[in-house]
Amino acid sequence: MGVRKYSVGVDIGGTNIKFGIFDATGKLLLQRKIATDPERGSDAVLSAVTQQIHSMLAALSLRADDLTGIGLGVPGTADSVTGTVVYAPNLFWKNVPVATAIQSSFGVPLFIAQDTRAAAWAEYLVGSGQGCRGLAAVTLGTGIGCGMVMDGKIFHGALNTAGEFGHQIVELDGELCNCGRRGCLEAHAGGLAIVRQAKKRIPHLGTLLGKDSAAISVADVFQLAQQGNPPARQLTQDAVRYIGIGLVNLINLTSVERICISGGISNAPRELLMEPLIAFVRERAYQAISGRVQISKSTLGEDAPLIGAALLHRAFAHPAAHPAAARAE
């Protein structure tokens, strides 16, 4: 019988899969990263995940029964009870029984959650959200996502789609979103949207930046804005206003106490993003709480989903939420 004090976190992204083995104190002992290559199909991706975990355990001279569990963060809707990825468009996965595939190879509990929720869980336990009751971890990246912890629990929602923060409408009949609807926050203020707008609205953008149109990033747009380029400034102000609307809606609906912000856009100069966002919330959120909600940059940053995945065993301690128990019913 092993010691059951280590845990494995896996953060499956559309481009890379990150792995980490942590000890009981949360110390990262070993981490690795492989390419996802989603086009090879879910079976091949999951078998690569399994292989990698075996190889990492071997590298640390650990056995599967030394593990408390294996936690997976996935970029899409996951059913934490059945251990299934319901829908992950970036991976082209629909109803993939991930727990069955991986658990059989290790014989330890497997926990699965949407990456945004894993990130929020990490922030709540060991990051910017420590000591608070209600937390939202908002990712402002290529897309816009959000995970929430309410009263000490990951909030899934009755229909399991809680936190679709990026798909709240901020402009009726606005820009077309990846989700198929129009006017979503992500379609107006996500990284892809900002770059797309920049190419439309900033004359001679490539020449100004001295780079190829395909290489232009959201950081470039914020840099131009900081240099005082008027259309870039207007564009980033517009994006911040949309994100501000999103945050006010989130705060007014959930009474969340703390919001931590991560993702590529969060690295924009403070005076162009965090300061105006906080001012927007102070001025426009429901008055009884507008001054109390705390908004800051995430302390865990892009590691949050990986760390949270490794800590998922603490989210699903109750046997009813245990994937294996649920299947045995």
CB-based contact 229:198 (threshold 8 Å): no
Distance of CA 112 to the CA centre of its chain: 14
Q: Which range of residues in 58-66, 180-188, 242-250, 294-302 is near Zn ion by CB under 5 A? A: 180-188
Nearer to Zn ion, 179 or 289 (CB): 179
Site pattern 134..173 for Zn ion (x: CB under 5 A): ---------------------------------x------
How far apart, in whole angstroms, are the C-alpha atoms of residue 131 and residue 258?
A: 10
Minimum distance, C-beta of residue 177 to Zn ion, in the bound complex (Å): 3
- How many chain residues are in contact with Zn ion, going by CB under 5 A? 5
Minimum distance, C-beta of residue 283 to Zn ion, in the bound complex (Å): 26
Q: Is 63 helix (H, G, I), strand (E, B) or coil?
A: coil
Nearer to Zn ion, 184 or 243 (CB): 184
189 forms part of the interface with Zn ion (CB under 5 A): no
273 forms part of the interface with Zn ion (CB under 5 A): no
The structure tokens listed for 22 are 């942590």
The CA radius of gyration of the chain, in Å to the nearest whole number, is 20
CB-based contact 166:184 (threshold 8 Å): yes
How far apart, in whole angstroms, are the C-alpha atoms of residue 46 and residue 64?
A: 17
How far apart, in whole angstroms, are the C-alpha atoms of residue 52 and residue 48?
A: 6
**CA torsion sign, 311 to 313 to 315 to 321?**
positive
The dihedral formed by the CA atoms of 109, 327, 38 and 123, expressed in degrees to the nearest 10: -50
Nearer to Zn ion, 48 or 164 (CB): 164
Nearer to Zn ion, 167 or 322 (CB): 167
Q: Which range of residues in 81-89, 121-129, 175-183, 246-254 is near Zn ion by CB under 5 A? A: 175-183
DSSP, residue by residue, 150-191:
ETTEE---TTS-TT-GGGSBSSTT-SBPTTS-BSBHHHHHSH
21 forms part of the interface with Zn ion (CB under 5 A): no
Task: Give the containing element (helix H, strand E) for 282.
Answer: helix 274-284
Minimum distance, C-beta of residue 192 to Zn ion, in the bound complex (Å): 12
Distance of CA 103 to the CA centre of its chain: 24
Nearer to Zn ion, 175 or 238 (CB): 175
Q: Which range of residues in 143-151, 181-189, 230-238, 281-289 is near Zn ion by CB under 5 A? A: 181-189
Work out which of 30, 34, 126, 179 binds Zn ion, going by CB under 5 A. Answer: 179
Minimum distance, C-beta of residue 193 to Zn ion, in the bound complex (Å): 11
86 forms part of the interface with Zn ion (CB under 5 A): no
Work out which of 118, 184, 225, 268 binds Zn ion, going by CB under 5 A. Answer: 184
How far apart, in whole angstroms, are the C-alpha atoms of residue 68 and residue 7?
A: 5
Nearer to Zn ion, 167 or 258 (CB): 167
Site residues, Zn ion (CB under 5 A): 167, 177, 179, 181, 184
